[in-house]
């Protein structure tokens, strides 16, 4: 396994960190509509921080399989008040977007991290915005785009191909002067992957580690957990999410992106308490 990074976006990574999901959307796969208004989303973010989230990831456009894009202006309207309020409250805020205009607006509102499912390739201005602002970035792998990504994903060697893609995106950021301490990679579980691909990636996480670069994994409530467990309702997949999250930590993940922060924090505390290397 490659040398573990010491930090990401100013966060100490000597132990696993949690990124709490704040969806300001009416149609996200698990909690769409529950926090669609700014006030509800802000309250939810504050509750996640109190439960142990080191990062609050605010998103205004669903990227679930089959999702349709929303207008940029609407995405900005959804996320900026939430980002601004949570950042002013002293929390580390991430913006989950693939659009440069939304990144710029969220950074101006106080976001310290850009979390992009296209790894800064979905908008030609994204890399310029992030590099100029000197903020941190999560670079995720996705085969295809949300509307069609689950139609027929194919790989010859999913771990090798995802790893090569992420390494190339890290190199592109380094070439623009970005520091390793501000770079994080995410294999994109469920984004253009079958059940077999997702399992292979979780088993192959040590091969995806890069020296000095953080590794984030998002498995929370995802479809492959439902397939393995027979649980159709995403919100009922908490136990399966904890199992998959602990497997990711065991494989070298530094950050887990989760809906259920309190439950995941408890699982990690027990995991550490019985002597697991976290």
Distances (CA, A) of 277 to 14, 133, 243: 11, 35, 16
Q: Which residues are within 8 A (CB) of 34 and not within 5 positions of it... i.e. 6 or more apart?
A: 23, 40, 44
CA 37, CA 23: separation in Å to the nearest integer?
Answer: 10
Centre a 10 Å sphere on the Cβ of residue 276 and count the other Cβ atoms it contains.
Answer: 12
In whole angstroms, give the CA distance from residue 94 to residue 58. Answer: 6
Length of the chain: 278
State the alpha helices, DSSP H only, in the chain. 38-51, 72-88, 100-108, 126-133, 158-175, 195-203, 205-208, 223-229, 238-250, 261-273
Task: Supply 23's token pair.
Answer: 């969806």
Q: Which two tokens stand for residue 79?
A: 């996320």
Residues marked active site are found at 222, 257
Maximum distance among all Cα pairs of the chain, rounded to whole angstroms: 49
> What ranges in 89-177 are assigned the alpha helix state H?
100-108, 126-133, 158-175
Using the 8-state DSSP alphabet, how is residue 236 labeled?
G
């Amino acid at each position: 396994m490659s040398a573990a990074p010491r930090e990401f976006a100013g966060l100490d990574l000597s132990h696993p960190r949690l990124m709490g999901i704040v969806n300001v959307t009416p149609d996200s796969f698990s909690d769409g509509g529950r926090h669609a208004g700014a006030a509800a989303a802000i309250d939810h973010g504050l509750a996640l921080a109190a439960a142990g989230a080191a990062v609050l990831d605010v998103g205004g456009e669903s990227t679930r399989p089959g999702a349709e894009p929303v207008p940029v202006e609407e995405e900005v309207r959804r996320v900026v008040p939430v980002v601004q309020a949570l950042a002013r409250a002293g929390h580390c805020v991430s913006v989950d977007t693939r659009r440069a205009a939304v990144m710029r607006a969220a950074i101006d509102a106080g976001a310290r991290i850009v979390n992009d499912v296209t790894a800064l390739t979905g908008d030609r201005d994204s890399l310029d915005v992030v590099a100029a602002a000197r903020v941190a970035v999560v670079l995720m792998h996705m085969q295809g785009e949300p509307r069609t990504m689950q139609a027929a994903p194919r790989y010859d060697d999913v771990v090798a191909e995802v790893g090569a893609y992420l390494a190339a995106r890290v190199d592109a950021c380094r070439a623009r002067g970005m520091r390793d301490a501000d770079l994080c990679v995410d294999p994109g579980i469920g984004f253009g992957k079958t059940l077999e691909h997702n399992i292979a990636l979780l088993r192959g996480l040590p091969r995806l580690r890069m020296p000095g670069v953080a590794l984030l994994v998002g498995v929370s409530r995802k479809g492959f957990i439902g397939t393995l467990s027979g649980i159709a309702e995403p919100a009922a997949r908490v136990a399966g999410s904890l199992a998959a999250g602990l497997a990711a930590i065991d494989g070298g993940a530094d950050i887990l992106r989760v809906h259920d922060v309190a439950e995941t924090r408890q699982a990690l505390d027990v995991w550490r308490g019985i002597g697991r290397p976290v």
